[in-house]
Amino acid sequence: MWRPRDPVNKEIDAYTLKFLVGMIALMLPVVELSLVGFSITSISASYFADDQNWPRNVFVGSLFAIASFLFGYKGQKAEEMVLSKIACLAALCIALFPCDCKPDGEIVKYAHGIASAILFAVLGRFCFIFHTNAQDKLKRDPRNRKALRRSRVYRGCLGGMVLAAALYGAKLYTGRDNLLFIAEAIGLFSFGISWLTASRVIPFLAQESDRKHLLAERGASQQHRSTTNNLAHQGAAEARERTTA
């Protein structure tokens, strides 16, 4: 009879938090676009989607989830711990204070825009930190191809963040509302990909010894030890059989 095994990691760890945050960030633009359609001019505007509750619920719920995970994330240094708390507060403000996407929509003037700018700036800084960590690992082991790949991914994500900021500036200059959604989507995709990469879940971006198996019953190193122990027990049993024979 099949019985579930006890979890290897008794509590959620930083890598799982990164995976969850990254997945939510990647899915948010896609889900909102599928719910509202191409008429949407901003992800924040889904808060005011006509005759629909789902777009607003997904938007607010996703931001609260991201805020919760960021609050629990501590990182490796004091800077990351402080930045995660700032990003947590910014995400909550984005969810609680709607944008000026419709007349009289704002509760507190400029709160939504300022919080959005702070959140994207902090997430851009996180992307730079992840890139620096990958570069440090590459310096210690120049043959680490996975660290090189992660470094390139982070560099691309930083470029995506810069592109998102440039598109937002173009929106302010030209007044083209569709540029805002594109800028937000690129920014969220860059954010999500960088955090998914840092989660060490993606096989071709992490060494097998460092890779995290979120749904596996045991990690790769534990599987190796288990296999070694089984072989040792098997060898001992065969030796006893030969002795008794």
Q: Within a domain: residue 2?
A: no
Are residues 114 and 184 both part of a single domain?
A: yes
3 belongs to a structural domain: no
- Do 73 and 118 fall into the same domain? yes
Give the SS3 label for residue 243.
helix
Residue count of the chain: 245
How confident is the prediction for the chain on average, in pLDDT? 83
Residues 121 and 209 in one domain: yes
Which band of pLDDT confidence, cut at 50, 70 and 90, is reported for residue 105? low
Q: What is the pLDDT of residues 140-156, one digit of tens each?
A: 988 888 889 999 999 99
Neighbours of 204 (CB within 10 A): 9
Same-domain status, 195 and 103? yes
**Residues spanned by the domain of 48:** 14-214
């989507």: which residue's tokens? 185
Examine residue 9 and state whether it is found in any structural domain, yes or no: no
Instruction: Indicate if 171 and 186 belong to the same structural domain.
Output: yes
Any domain includes 8:
no
Q: Given a cut of 50, is residue 15 above it in pLDDT?
A: yes
Q: Are residues 201 and 227 in the same domain?
A: no
Residues 244, 134: one domain? no
* Residue 183 shares a structural domain with residue 234: no
Residue 88 lies in a domain: yes
What is the arithmetic mean of pLDDT over 58-65? 94
Residue 6 within a domain:
no
pTM of the predicted model as reported, rounded to 2 decimal places = 0.80
Residue 1: inside a domain: no
b/e map 149-180, b = 16+ CB within 10 Å? bbbebbbbbbebbeebbebbeebeeeeeeebb
Range scoring the smallest mean pLDDT among 120-124, 140-144, 156-160: 140-144
pLDDT (tens digit per residue) in 175-218: 887 898 999 999 999 999 999 999 988 887 877 777 776 665 44
- Position 228 scores a pLDDT of 44
Q: Within this chain, do residues 201 and 225 fall inside the same structural domain, yes or no?
A: no
Q: Indicate whether 74 and 151 sit together in one domain.
A: yes
Residues 135 and 231 in one domain: no
Q: What is the pLDDT of residues 41-52, one digit of tens each?
A: 889 888 887 667
Residues 145 and 235 in one domain: no
Instruction: Measure the CA–CA gap between 42 and 181, rounded to whole angstroms.
Output: 4
Q: What total of structural domains would you count in the chain?
A: 2
Under the banding of pLDDT at 50, 70 and 90, the label for residue 242 is very low
Q: Does a structural domain hold residue 75?
A: yes
